[in-house]
């Protein structure tokens, strides 16, 4: 399905902050000589369907770097616990700044330096085909049991219609039968319908959201659906210094 920017205003927002509890300062850590946030920004901005790409941050260092490479940054509050809340604030500021109404907001986490431009399209197309879908998450296959056990890898199980049932940092489904069924992970390319993102930031944070530290649980706990869409592309999020080395090797191999 062809998508034209003339008919759909799509805003990609990359939330990033220096104060990550798992890897402080990681957006500015270098991969092949370039800060990680630079890799993410360039890849997302090269998507043919994105109207505007911006980084949402509460850190001046990130803001200044993105501006220095000709990108768009927006300063947001330093009190946000969830990336989706940061994106909601950034959306309101960017629409006011550019006097533009966006239709779909694609959140791409700032620790996904292997994001392929086509992943944006993979995630958005289902929303164009089905107006009832409020939010999409890309989904990848878990490669091995080490990744299955890794708490930095967010696991997801879905129903027969492709909607998420639960997200967890723990291994799901059960370890005892995990060799009998595909194991899946969340890939943080997440389009929201504009109005639903603004609704999300007004929803009360929920117990399982806080327990798992996963944005999407707020949506499920309030009774809404999250559509999971398999991606054809490999991804490798960066949660540790060791992950940086993995990404360097993958990029050098042409991925």
pLDDT exceeds cutoff 60 at 55: yes
**Count of the separate structural domains present in the chain:** 1
Mean pLDDT of 71-99: 96
Q: pLDDT by residue (tens digit) across 8-40?
A: 899 999 999 998 777 889 999 999 999 999 999
Burial letters for 34-47: b for 16+ Cβ neighbours within 10 Å, e otherwise?
ebbbbbbbbbbbeb
Q: 1 in a domain, yes or no?
A: no
Q: Are strands 10-16 and 104-108 parallel, antiparallel or unpaired?
A: parallel
Q: 4 in a domain, yes or no?
A: no
Boundaries of domain holding 204? 10-252
Q: 198 in a domain, yes or no?
A: yes
**DSSP conformational letter for 191:** E
Mean pLDDT of 50-69: 97
Q: 116 in a domain, yes or no?
A: yes
Tokens of 20: 């990550």
Mean pLDDT of 89-110: 96
Q: pLDDT by residue (tens digit) across 66-83?
A: 999 999 999 999 999 999
Residue 140 maps to which CATH number? 3.90.550.10
Query: CA 249, 140, 54: angle at the middle one, nearest 5?
Result: 75
- At 91 the pLDDT is 98
Q: 142 in a domain, yes or no?
A: yes
Q: 3 in a domain, yes or no?
A: no
Q: 24 in a domain, yes or no?
A: yes
Mean pLDDT of 107-121: 94
Between 1 and 163, the more confident residue is 163
Distinct helix (H) and strand (E) counts, the chain: 9, 12
pLDDT exceeds cutoff 60 at 5: no
């Amino acid at each position: 399905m062809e998508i034209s920017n003339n008919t759909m205003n799509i805003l990609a927002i990359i939330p990033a902050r220096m104060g990550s509890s798992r890897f402080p300062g990681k957006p500015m850590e270098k991969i092949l000589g370039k800060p990680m946030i630079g890799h993410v920004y360039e890849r997302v901005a090269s998507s043919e369907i994105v109207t505007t790409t911006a980084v949402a941050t509460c850190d001046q260092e990130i803001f200044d770097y993105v501006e220095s490479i000709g990108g768009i940054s927006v300063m947001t509050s330093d009190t946000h616990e969830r990336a989706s809340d940061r994106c909601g604030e950034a959306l309101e500021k960017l629409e006011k700044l550019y006097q533009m109404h966006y239709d779909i907001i694609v959140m791409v986490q700032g620790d996904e330096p292997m994001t392929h431009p086509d992943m944006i399209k993979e995630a958005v197309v289902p929303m164009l085909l089905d107006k009832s879908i409020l939010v999409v998450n890309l989904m990848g296959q878990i490669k091995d049991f080490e990744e299955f056990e890794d708490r930095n890898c967010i696991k997801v199980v879905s129903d027969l219609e492709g909607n998420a049932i639960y997200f967890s940092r723990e291994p799901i489904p059960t370890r005892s039968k995990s060799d009998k069924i595909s194991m899946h992970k969340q890939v943080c390319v997440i389009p929201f319908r504009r109005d639903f993102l603004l609704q999300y930031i007004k929803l009360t944070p929920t117990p399982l959201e806080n327990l798992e530290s996963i944005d999407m649980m707020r949506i499920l706990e309030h009774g809404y659906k999250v559509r999971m869409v398999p991606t054809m592309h490999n991804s490798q999020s960066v949660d540790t210094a060791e992950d940086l080395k993995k990404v360097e090797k993958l990029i050098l191999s042409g991925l």
